[in-house]
Structure 1
Amino acid sequence: MAPLIGEDGGDHSAEGHRVFLDSMLQRDYGKSLYDCFFILGDNCAFNKRLATIAHLPLIGCASRWLNIAVQAYLQFYKDELDTIQNLMRKLRTLNHAAKLRHAMVDRYFCLAGFIEADDEELCELMASPRSVKRLRSLPSDLKRIESVSKSLQCETTTILDVRLWFDGLIEVEPSFAEYLAPRARIVHSPDFESGCTKVLEGEGAKLTRAESAALEPFAIEHSESESDSESGSFVAQLRRKCRRVQKPQEYGLLSLIPPTSNMVERFFSLARVTFGHERHSLSPYTLEMVLFLRVNKKYWDVRTVEQCTQVTDCSFWLPSMDLMVVLSGNDDIVKLERTD
């Protein structure tokens, strides 16, 4: 996390954020915006504009797409759901919490057989037989959606996984195609995402010209020494050249591209809790270090803390992150040094 601290915060446009990202990457990480391969975030107009002016593909958050598709899908059942919601409020059996619609429909069918049909007050709120018939299929559809939504939270989920799950939902409910199809209007960089899907599926040879161009930064170049290329007979050289032409281009790191921004959203939730409930006059620098250690807690344990408290000055290396953490016991200073 690199918050905009001590900077002019007046320009919140996409161009202002592009300039900030470029300067921040050079200042703190020795990189530039040209070293970035993609942007991951919500498909809002701001992020689309930022990706366009930065000349980077924008990977939309799959969880956000699913949420929009579900909201549009539930509009077909709006009248029936409103009727059941009014009835359940009257019965006072529903706790208004997350998964409201799903829990409400399930709860209604569990209680429907025990509701007295001669109760005049409840009869006015009861759903019609036609509405009940329409809602019979809704719980099973919501369970499928919930299964996909939970799977999207996994850190090992790839773009290929998302495409397979979304195609399955579209097959069950074709109306989802408006938001979940590979080339839906909400998708900012369809060539990039479809290209990633084909490569991860082992169909890299079927890439279109636009998809190959979008994946060019991820292409793996296989260098061949001049002596190897000239060794052997003339026929052997021609055969090697033919194999190189026929072999599809290989791409790296595509399986590591996250298809959702859930990890970032969880980090901001953690930052809000830490800043709101545990700040206690912490300086911005100390707060950033606390968040850094919390997010990367899998790289250190109690033995590391004990080692740091037993000596005045301590440093330890995080090999997985290629990072050196230096702790000074005299003035409670935490320094992070990137190793070369």
Structure 2
Amino acid sequence: MENPLTRSIVRIQPFRIKTIRKYIIGTARETEKAVALELKKVGAVTLLMDGWTCDGTSTHYIAIFAGYEHPRLHEYNEVLLSIQPTFNEEDLGADAHIELFESTLELYNLDKEKVVCIIGDNCNTNKAISRRWGIPLVGCASHRFNLAVKTWIGSQRGLRAALDKVNVLMPKAINLKPAAHLGDLTYTAHEKILVAKTENVTRWTSFMTMVQRYLRIKEQLDACNGLEEYVLSGTENRLIKEAAKSFSIFYFVAVEIQAKGMDLLHVRQQFDTLLSDEKYSIMAEKLDPRDDIVECPDFEVGCLKVMRGEAATLTEDEAAAIAKLRQKGSIPEVSEPTRELSTKEILSLNSKRRKIEIDQKQRGGGEQEQSPYIDIKVTISATSNCCERLFSEAKYIMVPHRLETQTVISTAVQTLKRQQKSVLLHQFSIWFLPDTISSVHYDSKEQLHRPFQDISPVCPSSETQTVISTAVQTLKRQQKSVLLHQFTIWFLPDTISSVYYDSKEQLHRQFRGTEYICCLTGM
């Protein structure tokens, strides 16, 4: 709170930037210890990884997640282990990545023998990591599907050129004068303003959103002043309309396989369903299980056979590739439809089957056959999209105007944000009127109790520990009068016993009999 403006709008005692840095880093370290304890109970772990270059800093960050079967919930779980540059930022090769992986495993006391595979994009660097480190690579299904869709687009005569023309037209339509005219036209036609959408080169799905919007406002684009020279021909419009039907199918698959913990078997079912349609057979160049793009086909095919209950058909190479894996049971059969279904209907049916399988497993229904392999469905994810989701959040924290923020602080903040969504961290928020609350108690049953007014506070202790991250915020109502207060507590399970907010507006937390006073504000 060294900023005068920030200090003027809050009602808590001032603290220095060093204070908040201390508690952010300390909290992140405590969280790392909790993650290490949980991973110690796990039999098999997968490492999910991807890279991202921060805008405005030219710093390349490597994100590493651990995926595993939760020891208590027996479902797929993933936690962030690290997001940081390589130790030598000039070296982005396989050896630099391996050095970072080994350092991360050492930080969490995780034995390399527990790592059954790496999950990441099908790029040359990741393939080299797999070969040199001696751990199989499972290529990210989303990345492969992205490449397959681009292959399909390139195989359609004239489609790429038509999409390029749409991608030229739509940016022109968001310029100042055309956008104003287009807004009036779309409001008259659709009773709301519809703006043009453009292609995002890093996401193929932007093709579909761009095409959908183009087809919806085509008549208004044709009538918009200043866009006449960019209008598409009749043939190009026909190609775009036909492509939109296929894009809707691709979009369904792409969004579905991005789900957390999406398993290899369901992804293979969806890919095979697409490839069975002659219209999309060209996509086999990227989606075939033994295509050249696959670095470890024996491992992936072996996993699929085990998940189908066909472990007896494993070849020697496949059995050797999945030697670290053991499975617990097979999946109940689902009745087949009697009539012939369309490609889109089969894709939807596959999704329904997966939901039924998950529901039956959660209810404990159905008999399960014993198998010598672990439950691969809750151990190995088919994609590394957790890294992409992390980068989407990180770009709002690691922004150019925060260039002076140390990497260790940015990494600690990201660690805390990600663990919030796992079972490792709990949170509760209290909103209250001034002078009405005196203490908060969070008991072993995870029930929140709020005694008010005449409750004596806990006496401070001389001992100190790291505070599990917190933010104390004062809200303003009607811009000037402060009517409501809030504080949010972030903590590890079984570490907090009570909280109270005293008359001096200081937040007190007691951890296993040890109390801290730390007034922090939202970051």
TM-score, normalised with respect to structure 2:
0.49
**What number of residue pairs does the alignment pair up?**
298
SS in 1 for 2:148: helix
Question: Which amino acid counterpart does residue 388 of structure 2 have in structure 1?
Answer: E
Q: Match for residue 447 of structure 2? A: none
Report matched runs for 1:107-256 at 5 Å: 107-110=213-216, 125-129=231-235, 131-172=236-277, 173-219=280-326, 249-256=371-378
Matched, 1:70 2:149: yes
1:297: how far off?
A: 1.3
2:207 counterpart (82, 101, 106): 101
Give the partner amino acid of 2:105: L
Mark the CA change 1:328 to 1:10 in structure 2 (over 3 Å): closer, same or farther: farther
> Is it true that 1:258 corresponds to 2:381 in the alignment?
yes
Structure 1 residue 282 displacement after superposition = 5.4
1:86 to 1:276, Cα distance in 2 relative to 1, 3 A? closer
Taking structure 1 as reference, are residues 268 and 82 closer, same or farther at Cα in structure 2, changes over 3 Å only? closer
Distance 1:272 1:206, change over 3 A: same
Residue 127 to residue 107, structure 1, CA distance change in 2 (3 Å)? farther
Partner of 1:13: 93
The letter for the 2-side match of 1:193 is E
* Alpha-carbon spacing, 1:278–1:328, altered in 2? closer, same or farther (3 Å): farther
2:127 maps to which residue?
A: 48
**Residue deviations 1:163-209, cap 9 Å, x none?**
11111222231111111111121111111111212222222222222
CA distance in 2, matches of 1:59, 1:151: 18
Secondary structure in 1 matching 2:272: helix
Q: Kindly provide the amino acid, as one letter, of the partner of residue 138 in structure 1.
A: A
- Structure 1 residues 39 and 307: alpha-carbon distance in aligned structure 2, compared to 1, 3 A threshold: farther
- TM-superposed deviation, 1:23: 3.6
What's the % identity of the aligned pairs? 27
Distance of aligned partners of 1:126 and 1:295 in 2 relative to their CA distance in 1, 3 Å threshold? closer
1:25 matches 2:105:
yes
Change (3 A) 1:79 1:35: same
Q: Does 1:301 align with 2:488?
A: no
Q: CA deviation at 1:115?
A: 8.7
Q: 1:277 to 1:9 in 2, by over 3 A?
A: closer
> Taking structure 1 as reference, are residues 96 and 36 closer, same or farther at Cα in structure 2, changes over 3 Å only?
same
The Cα of 1:78 is off from its aligned counterpart by 1.5
Letter in 1 for 2:198: H
Aligned to 2:450: none
2:516 paired with 1:329: yes
Tell me the secondary structure at the aligned position of residue 329 of structure 1. strand
Inter-partner Cα distance in structure 1 for 2:426 and 2:405: 22
Q: How many angstroms apart in 2 are the aligned matches of 1:330 and 1:124? A: 64
Q: Deviations over 1:110-134 (max 9, x none)?
A: 56678989xxx959944244x4544
Inter-partner Cα distance in structure 2 for 1:265 and 1:21: 18
Per residue, is there more helix in 1 or in 2? 1
Report 1:286-297 matches (<5 A). Answer: 286-297=409-420
Helix, strand or coil at the partner of 2:324: helix
1:9 to 1:168, Cα distance in 2 relative to 1, 3 A: same
CA distance in 2, matches of 1:107, 1:49: 41
Shift of 1:255: 0.8
What CA deviation, in whole Å up to 9, does each residue of 1:44-74 have, x standing for no partner? 1111001101111101111111111112222
**Bigger fraction of residues in strand:** 2
Alpha-carbon offset, residue 83 of structure 1: 4.5
Let me know the Cα RMSD of the aligned residues: 4.0
Q: Is the 8 A contact 1:21 1:33 kept in 2?
A: no
**Given the alignment, which residue of 130, 149, 161 partners 1:79?**
161
* 2:516 counterpart letter in structure 1: G
Q: Distance in 2 between matches of 1:188 and 1:306?
A: 54
Q: What letter matches 2:117 in structure 1? A: F
* Distance in 2 of aligned mates of 1:331 and 1:90: 53
What letter corresponds to residue 300 of structure 1 in structure 2?
H
Aligned residue identity for 1:270: E
Q: 1:112 to 1:18 in 2, by over 3 A?
A: closer
**Contact 1:65-1:180 within 8 A present in 2 as well:** yes
2:391 partner amino acid: F
**Partner amino acid, structure 1, of 2:427:** D
**Alpha carbons 1:191, 1:210 under 8 Å: kept:** yes
Instruction: Using the TM superposition, name which of 306-315 and 146-155 deviates more.
Output: 306-315
Mapped to 2, the partners of 1:2 and 1:104 lie a distance apart of: 35
Q: Distance in 2 between matches of 1:266 and 1:115?
A: 34
Alpha-carbon distance between aligned partners in 1 of 2:115 and 2:273, rounded to the nearest angstrom: 32
Match 2:396 to one of 260, 273, 281: 273
In the other structure, the counterpart of 1:226 is: none
Contact 1:14 1:47 in 2 (8 A): yes
SS of structure 1 residue aligned to 2:399 = helix
The runs of 5 or more residues in structure 2 that have no matched partner are 1-80, 183-195, 329-368, 431-438, 443-456, 469-490, 495-510
TM-score with structure 1 setting the length? 0.71
Counterpart amino acid of 1:96? Answer: T
Tell me how far apart the structure 2 counterparts of residues 280 and 307 of structure 1 sit (CA, whole Å).
39
Partner Cα separation in structure 2 for residue 69 and residue 249 of structure 1: 34
